[in-house]
Structures are given as C-alpha cells and as structure tokens.
Amino acid sequence: MNSLYILTMLCANVVLAEWLTKFPYLRSMGAALLVIITTAITANLGLIPSSSEQVPVYDGIFSYLAPLSIFFLMLKANLRSLRKAGGVMLSLFLLGSIGTILGVIVSLQLFDAPRSLGELHYAIAGMFTGTYIGGSVNFNAVALHYGVSKAGTLYAATTAADNIITAIWMVGTLAIPQFLNRLYPRPKRQESVSLVELEAELSENETVGPQNVALLVGLGILSIYLSQQIAQWIPSIPVVLIQTTLALGLAQIPAIHQLAGSRMLGLLCVYLFLAVIGAYCDIPALIHDGKLAFTLLGIITVLVLIHGSIVFGIGALLKQDWDMLGIASQANIGGASSALALAKSLHRPDLQLPAVLIGVLGNAIGTYFGIWIAEWMK
C-alpha cells in the first residue's frame, strides 16, 4: 500500500479516537486505548497493512516518532519545582514507588511469569514498574526498548489490562480516603500553594507558533542523534535512558521547559505510535489468547493491591492524612493528570499542585526503574 495512504489512515484513527472520548460510556477507556482498538479494527479489515507485512511507515514511527514522544513529554519535567510538593507528599510518593517495585516482583513470581507471559516476561515487568511509578510515557519507553511494541497482541492485551485496573484503582483511591476519614478521622494536613503557581503548572492551553514547533522538533531530532552516538561509545547504556536523561537536562532550562507545544507534539507522536501498535494487533489471536488477558489482569491486580497495602498500611501507622495517601498512590498508578483529578474530587485544592509535581517526578524516574527491574528479572 502507498505510504501516504497508510499515514492518512493512522491520523484518521487518532481523530476518530479523540472524537469517541466525547461519549460518556467510552471516555473511561481513554483516547490511548481507543486509538489501539480503532486501528486494530482497521488493520484486521484489510484497510491498512497488519503485522504480517513489512511497512516502512510503521518502521519510521517506531524509529523516530516514538522516541520523539518521550522527548517532548519529558520536557515538562521541571525537577526544581518539586520542592513545592512538600516533603511529606514526596515521601509518600517514594513509598508508593517502593510498593510498586515489590508488587511487580511478587505478582510475577506468583503467576510464574516466564511460563504464563513467555520470553518477554522481564520486559512486561519493566513496563509495569515504569507505568505504576510514573505513567504511560514510561510504559511506552520500556516497551520500545525491549521490542514489546512490535508484539502487537501481547502489547494490546497488556495495555487493556493496565487501563482496566488503573480505572478501578481511581475509584478505589477516591473511596478509601473518604471511608477512612469517616472511620478514623484525622486533621487534614494543609499545604499552602500560590494560586499563580497552581494555574501556571496546571494550564493546558498552549499557543503554538512555527518558531516553537521548529525549535522543539529540531531539539527532538538532535536528541535522537546524540543518543545514538553516545550509545555507540557506551553500548552498556540503553538509548532510551540516554535520551530520557538528555530531555530531563533540557527540561531544567526555563526557556525550554516553558516552550509551548511540547505536550501537544508529544501526545500526537504517542497516538501515532499507539496506532501502529493497533495495526500490529491480530484480533483473532487476541481472542484466542484470552487466557493471557486474564493472567495480566491477575498480575496487575495483585501488584496494585500490594502497592496500596504498603501506602495505606504504613501511612496509617505514621498517622498521615488519608487524602494525601490516596493522591500519592494515584500519582504512581495513574500519573499526574489522574492525581490532579483525584485532588479535585476530594475537594483538596491545596493538594492539586503537589499532585501534579509528584506525577512529574514519576515521569522522570519511571523509565530508569523500569529498565532496572527488567534487566534484573532478565
């Protein structure tokens, strides 16, 4: 098939997925999973090539757009602002990260991962570690590094299971603090936050000009080139970690961190990457491997329960604010946007900025821990 036609169809599926999120009964699935599903249907109907064919457009997206998505999204990780999150919230977030790592190790052993998940079990462990410390950007980075992104059926099943449990835990972190506040009421620890700082950090409105786009794209391409060159000199360091480190370094420069457009470009690249994942998804094989989906659901359920038990159990012993415990846990499991939504739902405007900031920290460190756990289990 013509490459321009294939790229047009991928973009059309991104547009369709975003439109479908306007419907209440589909919104909870999220645009990312809908992109995978709609493109999988398109590919299985024969409208675009599937995993059985060698497609230059798909290879180009894996080689260039996927790394660019990581770079663009990491540019929002301004680590200097973490001091505004407060020591208690940071400590709870790091406690949750330890809970995630323990949960990954125990759950994969419990379900005999080498047998139930196959030869890529260690990569799945790394993906779960990354995403449940800091969000989907880490999930995709680890998957890209280990080639799980090209195992369409496995990747789609993992993404679907991840989305289901993440949605359930969002409900859990909303209900548990409210229940515990009624059962064991505790004074709420108030965080003083400047409204100006809050609005600046949470603003999603970006006015993007051609100069910004050109600068961002140029920096992104340069980061890929430099990462590949450095990886040749130091082959023991994965390319994705080099690029993550470069992006984090640039994000600490105010003029670059404040560039409008990085979030928009990052999401577009992520969606196109996920569209190719969908094209690689063999739906008959996914249905045939229904046992795989249930195994993944079981693994993630045990993982999240261990994480939650550690956060709320140790937090209870230390007599911490129940709302803060829920928000810190949600920053791990769902990322910055979910933690922000939870802070709003719990009527804690004082915790909105800290929720976003610890979510940013998760984005920054998740890939490092994900690859560390993958290599350890490998």
Mean pLDDT within 301-310: 95
- Rounded to an integer, the average pLDDT of 298-319 is 93
Q: At what angle do helices 152-183 and 336-345 cross, to 10 degrees?
A: 30
Average pLDDT over residues 350-377: 85
Question: 130 to each of 113, 166, 364, how far by Cα in Å?
Answer: 17, 14, 10
In Å, what is the CA distance from 215 to each residue of 49, 200, 227, 262?
33, 22, 18, 10
82-122 pLDDT per residue, tens: 677 678 888 999 999 999 999 999 999 999 989 988 888 99
Give the per-residue pLDDT at 72.
84
Across the chain, what does the average pLDDT equal? 82
Rounded distance, CA 354 to CA 343, Å? 9
> Where is mean pLDDT largest: 43-47, 206-210, 368-372?
368-372
What is the distance, to the nearest Å, from the Cα of residue 166 to the centroid of all Cα atoms in its chain?
11
Contacts of 355 (CB under 8 A, 6+ apart): 89, 327, 330, 331, 336, 339, 340, 342, 343
Residue-level pLDDT at 127: 93
**Which residue, among 35, 236, 61, has the nearest Cα to 136 in the 3D structure?**
35
Which residues, at least 6 apart from 81, have a Cβ–Cβ distance to it below 8 Å? 201, 357, 360
Note the pLDDT of residue 196.
44
Asked if pLDDT for residue 21 goes beyond 50, the answer is yes
CB distance 113 to 121 below 8 Å:
yes
Residue 46 has which token pair?
């024969």
pLDDT exceeds 80 at position 149: no
DSSP state of 37: H
Question: Which pLDDT score is estimated for 310?
Answer: 96
User: Does the pLDDT at position 52 exceed 70?
Assistant: no
Q: What is the mean pLDDT of residues 28-52?
A: 79
Top pLDDT among 174 and 186 is at 174
At 204, list the tokens. Answer: 């999603």
Checking if the pLDDT of 15 tops 50, the result is yes
> What average pLDDT does the segment 156-165 reach?
79
Range scoring the smallest mean pLDDT among 59-68, 116-125, 337-346:
337-346
pTM: 0.71
Q: With contact defined as beta carbons under 8 Å apart, do 48 and 42 qualify?
A: yes
DSSP 3-state assignment of 140?
helix
pLDDT band at 194 (very low <50, low <70, confident <90, very high): very low
**Can you read off the two tokens belonging to residue 230?**
């450095």
- pLDDT score recorded for residue 352: 75
Instruction: Check if the beta carbon of residue 66 is closer than 8 Å to that of residue 140.
Output: yes
Residue located via tokens 């991104």: 14
Q: CA–CA distance from 63 to each of 138, 145, 249, 299 (Å)?
A: 17, 11, 22, 30
Q: Is the pLDDT of residue 343 over 50?
A: yes
Whether pLDDT at 199 is above 50 = no
Q: What is the pLDDT of residue 135?
A: 75
pLDDT at 195: 43
> What pLDDT, on the 0 to 100 scale, is given for residue 241?
79
Least Cα distance to 145 among 53, 240, 260, 50 occurs for 240
For the chain, domain boundaries: 56-265+290-377
The pLDDT tens digits of the residues spanning 205-248 come to 556 778 888 999 999 899 889 988 998 888 777 777 788 888 88
Name the percent of the chain lying above pLDDT 70.
89
Provide the pLDDT confidence category of residue 288 given band limits of 50, 70 and 90. low
